[in-house]
Amino acid sequence: MWGLDQLTKTWAVAALSSGRVVEIVPGVFDLVLTRNPGAAFSLGTGLTAALSVLAIVVVVVVIRAASRLRDTGWAIGLGCLLGGALGNLTDRILREPSFMRGHVIDFLHIHHWPVFNVADCAITVAAVIIIWRTWRGIGLNGKR
């Protein structure tokens, strides 16, 4: 997931930096480059360093939980969470304007919805799976 996220962001920066918008489904979905200093929906734009630290905590917690995984659903959910968190964390660490304050590359745009990226999709899928497994009472070990 991390690799796909970084690959698509590299493409987006190269192909869309000039302000170019690529219409995929006219009036519904297009590709447009934005640089997001905040969290989802561009909230918390002044909290970029804190969001970086939060992402590091998420990565550490997921890696520590991995040794207890015995359930495929949890493995997929936590894998998506790890890939998404690492994808956006990579941007915050390596992209402008500075270390731990970098802006996340977003480029997927469904009209009437904020612009997002592959990492955001992975985090959303992770949230659905984690809520679903928790609601069903299934632990990391696969037991109820």
Angle at 37 between CA 30 and CA 124, to 5 degrees: 60
67 or 18: which carries more pLDDT confidence?
67
- pLDDT average, residue stretch 19-35: 96
Task: Give me the residue spans of the domains in the chain.
Answer: 2-16+25-135
Task: State how far the Cα of 6 lies from the Cα of 87, in Å rounded to an integer.
Answer: 6
Q: Round the CA-based radius of gyration of the chain to a whole number and report it.
A: 16
Mean pLDDT, the chain, rounded, equals 94
Residue 42: how many CA atoms within 13 Å on its side-chain side? 8
- 44-51: average pLDDT: 83
Q: Name the residues annotated as catalytic.
A: 106, 120
Alpha carbon distance 104, 36 (integer Å): 5
For 73, residues 6+ apart whose C-beta sits below 8 A from its C-beta are 129, 132, 133, 138
pLDDT at 93: 93
Sign of CA dihedral 132, 134, 135, 139: positive
User: pTM score, two decimals?
Assistant: 0.91
The amino acid that residue 111 corresponds to is H
State pLDDT tens for residues 93-125.
999 998 888 999 999 999 999 999 999 999 999
Q: What is the pLDDT of residue 102?
A: 92
Residue 41 pLDDT exceeds 70 = no
**Statement: residue 57 has pLDDT above 70:** yes
